[in-house]
């Protein structure tokens, strides 16, 4: 299929504010029907499609779940409902149960007013552009309904959480346990509130849980991977060894040590790669993103591994991992992919891999990262005037070239426009934070602001 611009699907499914198109019941019913029709075309003759639907803890999840259920069943597709479930849990269960596809109702780390839909294939991968374009083509057609005897049925998967918990535990080395560790686990009042604490507890840790009281509106609200201050405070308060923060749909991870030091996805990516290398695993290389800290790239290359950058977004990291045949990748926000363990990014499983590295090496996180000093990274978002084309602004281009020349070999410059709003993102990274800020401002000052 020739490349076409998608109307509804972005880099991570369809997302927006609830009550604003397309996050409205009518569209979601049509989306379920369209996806059901596309899946049915690919089904073997006489075989019924069956789709798993999971969600995070947003109040709007009930609404969107019901709308999707109506659409899928109208297309003759059976559905299984698993209720609140981490995004990677839906990916795992879709594959483990041999289903046609999985659907997650979540807006990940966004506030509760937003929600979204993403699809997983039968293999537990995020569905490709071709599938999304096929759904969009189907959405252009009038919605119908199969005859009564062909209608889909709905089932509830009551043991979904137990199945997923056991899967997570299976990724931790059998000869290790977490006995003697005191962990604080922050579930962001999101989808992992009833899974993650059990995983770490069952493996022997003493677990203090926060962010496990979802009320439909408090997901990601001052808690979780995007707001780690709550975790840092709790770790210090209870004198824990480590803190683990997930986001609303539990595919992101940030970690905190007993001193309150925060470790982001870039640092944890290095830990995962080095541990596998030390254990004799053949990695080939590691995939980061355009935003991955230069210090991490340098450290990985010094270990004799390749390092390549994908566009920002775990979807692009996964695509490049598959292209290269590598298994470890991730981004600073905490999306970490270990393809030897799971088909998609999973915050709980990534935390277990980090804990295993610490246990096997008998070292703290700080000790595992003693050779990596993260470069200060300055990011300025400048809202520019409507119609402004930064790529053709000669003065701006000249200043960018000057900064790049000044930082050659000792830093990085990354300028990119937002894909959703009139913003120019200016990122400067070098060993001196003051130099980075000064350089970023010298570029930002030339952008005509709105």
How many CB atoms within 10 Å of residue 66? 15
Active-site choice (108, 121, 333, 343): 108
Token look-up 């997570």 returns: 168
Q: What is the largest CA-CA distance in the chain?
A: 71
Establish whether 108 is a catalytic residue. yes
CA 286 – CA 303 distance, rounded (Å): 11
Tokens of 56: 């995070």
Asked whether the beta carbons of 403 and 442 are under 8 A apart, the reply is yes
Phi, psi dihedrals of residue 174, rounded to the nearest 5°: -65, -30
Asked whether the beta carbons of 220 and 186 are under 8 A apart, the reply is no
Token look-up 């789709």 returns: 51
CA distances from 179 to 80, 207, 355 (A): 36, 11, 12
Phi, psi dihedrals of residue 257, rounded to the nearest 5°: -95, 180
Kindly give the interhelix angle for 160-170 and 347-361, rounded to the nearest 10 degrees.
30
243, containing H or E segment:
strand 242-246
Tokens of 262: 């925060």
Token look-up 């699809």 returns: 119
SS3 319: helix
Q: What's 41-88 look like in SS3?
A: HHCCCCCCCEEEEEECCCCHHHHHHHHHHHHHHHCCCEEEEEEECCHH
Cα–chain center distance at 155: 28
The closest alpha carbon to 160, from 68, 251, 106, 93, belongs to: 93
CA 375 – CA 246 distance, rounded (Å): 24
Catalytic residues: 108
């Amino acid at each position: 299929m020739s490349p076409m611009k998608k109307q509804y699907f972005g880099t991570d499914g369809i997302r927006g504010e609830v009550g604003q198109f397309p996050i409205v019941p009518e569209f979601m019913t049509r989306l379920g029907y369209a996806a059901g029709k596309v899946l049915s075309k690919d089904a073997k003759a006489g075989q019924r499609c069956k789709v798993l639907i999971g969600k995070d803890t947003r109040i709007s999840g009930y609404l969107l779940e019901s709308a999707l259920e109506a659409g899928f069943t109208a297309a003759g597709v059976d559905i299984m409902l698993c209720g609140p479930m981490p995004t990677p849990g839906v990916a795992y269960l879709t594959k483990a149960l041999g289903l046609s596809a999985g659907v997650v109702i979540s807006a990940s780390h966004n506030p509760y007013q937003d929600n979204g839909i993403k699809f997983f294939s039968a293999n537990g991968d995020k569905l490709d552009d071709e599938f999304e374009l096929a759904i969009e083509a189907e959405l252009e057609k009038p919605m119908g309904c199969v005859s009564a005897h062909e209608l889909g049925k709905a089932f509830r998967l009551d043991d979904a959480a137990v199945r997923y918990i056991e899967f997570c535990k299976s990724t931790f080395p059998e000869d290790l346990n977490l006995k003697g560790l005191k962990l604080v686990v922050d579930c962001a009042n999101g989808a992992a509130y009833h899974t993650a604490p059990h995983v770490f507890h069952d493996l022997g840790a003493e677990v203090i849980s926060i962010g496990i009281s979802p009320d439909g509106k408090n997901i990601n609200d001052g808690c979780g991977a995007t707001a780690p201050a709550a975790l840092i405070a709790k770790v210090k308060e209870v004198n824990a060894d480590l803190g683990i923060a997930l986001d609303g749909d539990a595919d992101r991870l940030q970690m905190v040590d007993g001193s309150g030091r925060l470790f982001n996805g870039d640092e944890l990516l290095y830990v995962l790669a080095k541990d596998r290398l030390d254990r004799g695993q053949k990695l080939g290389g590691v995939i980061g993103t355009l935003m991955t800290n230069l210090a991490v790239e340098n450290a990985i290359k010094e270990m004799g591994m390749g390092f390549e950058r994908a566009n920002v977004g775990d979807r692009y990291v996964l695509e490049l991992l598959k292209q290269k045949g590598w298994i470890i990748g991730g981004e600073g926000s905490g999306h970490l992919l270990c393809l030897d363990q799971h088909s998609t990014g999973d915050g709980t499983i990534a935390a277990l891999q980090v804990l295993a590295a610490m246990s096997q090496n008998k070292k703290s996180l700080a000790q595992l990262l003693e050779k990596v000093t993260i470069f200060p990274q300055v990011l300025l978002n400048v809202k520019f005037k409507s119609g402004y084309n930064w790529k053709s602004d000669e003065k701006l281009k000249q200043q960018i070239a000057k900064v790049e020349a000044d930082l050659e070999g000792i830093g990085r410059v990354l300028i990119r426009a937002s894909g959703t709003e009139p913003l120019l993102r200016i990122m400067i990274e070098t060993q001196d934070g003051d130099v980075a800020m000064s350089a970023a401002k010298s570029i930002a000052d030339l952008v005509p602001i709105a």
